Amino acid sequence: MNRALWAISGLSSDPDLSPVSLPSHRTSPLRAVLARAALALFLLVLATVIVYLGRYGYRDDADPQAPLTFLDCAYFATVTLSTTGYGDIVPVSASARVVNTVVITPIRVIFLIVLIGTTLEVLTERTRRGWRIARWRSRVSGHTVVVGYGTKGRAALATLREAGTPPDSIVVVDHSPQAMSEANQAGLVGVTGDATRRDVLASAEIEQAARVVVAVGRDDTAVLITLTARQLGPALAITVAVRDAENEPLLRQSGADQVVVSSETAGRLLGLSTLSPGIGQVIGELLDRGHGLDLTERVCTSAEVGRPIRTAVPEAVAVLRDGHVLAADDPRAAQLLDGDRLVLIAMTAPGTVRP
């Protein structure tokens, strides 16, 4: 990202202040405490056993002539790992001193790290999180930004993932921290904040993105997001969902490439399903990618150029040419041209993802 943009937007390099959140596995506090306690107990038992095996190389001031008992070894291990020792039990043989230097001392260091692990974990996690975010920023490119993690946004994400879009190439933007937590749990990178602000969209590396999906609840918010996204990414492919059809021209003037009128589309589907339930069922199959019927799109090949669509690609239902949709029986589709895109209906076995 351009450093000047970071300065203008006021974003901090401190990872705690960054709106970006990466997917991660979170351990419950109780489990973390129990894990530390188990590790500390294991280290204590290990040190006790090591001292017991070399008990003849130690001397107890309380009884210098007798070898250490197992209790004496446990006592020596405890005070040695937790403190520097009291001096009442000391190693006197060369082998015991070597073991204390080479083995017991490293165990003591690890034991102390476990005891103060909470503080160290916080510092380590901050460093690790900052490193992961910096690494993500340096590598992310050509990704998809989905603004809004509500019903429409989740449905759009499901379709993207069913179509083979990897989760690490999707960034979700939403103002709700809870929504971002759910997105992270789903393996997605999240940016928390108001997407109408330049700094929030900039945090999603929108300048490096390939496409943006705007699926928010208000049409006026969708307009502001589209304007901001278009300013930051002049070459972005922007798809926007709006409630009212009267706002579609405004969205296109704001820079949207595709506008989906959700309320009108849902109403038409309700009408079709009421009059012709079979048609509604077919449309539902087409929308449910990867199950039953699928709509796919591809570029016309060189072998198909110059041929009628009906003979060249019988399963094609439409041709996309210069921003216009031509039906398969349209006279203009009687001859396919170089650069035409074909829309096809194909059968998909359950569980199969089509390209």
145 shares its domain with 36: no
Quick: pLDDT tens for 106-144.
888 888 777 776 666 666 767 777 888 888 888 889 999
112 shares its domain with 208: no
Quick: pLDDT tens for 237-251.
999 999 888 998 999
300 shares its domain with 251: no
- The domain that contains 224 carries what CATH number? 3.40.50.720
Domain residues for 34? 29-117
Number of domains in the chain: 3
159 shares its domain with 260: yes
- The domain that contains 97 carries what CATH number? 1.10.287
- The domain that contains 351 carries what CATH number? 3.30.70.1450
Chain centre to alpha carbon of residue 232: 22
Write out the two tokens for 62: 């309380």
168 shares its domain with 99: no
| Bridge-based pairing state of the strands 341-348 and 292-299 | antiparallel
CA 351, CA 161: separation in Å to the nearest integer?
Answer: 13
**Per the domain annotation, does 281 fall within a domain?**
no
Give me the residues of the chain with pLDDT under 70, please.
1-18, 22, 24-30, 32, 117-123, 125, 272, 280, 284-292, 347-355
CA neighbor of 146 nearest in space, from 118, 126, 128, 167: 167
Quick: pLDDT tens for 52-68.
999 889 988 888 888 89
154 shares its domain with 237: yes
pLDDT of residue 48: 92
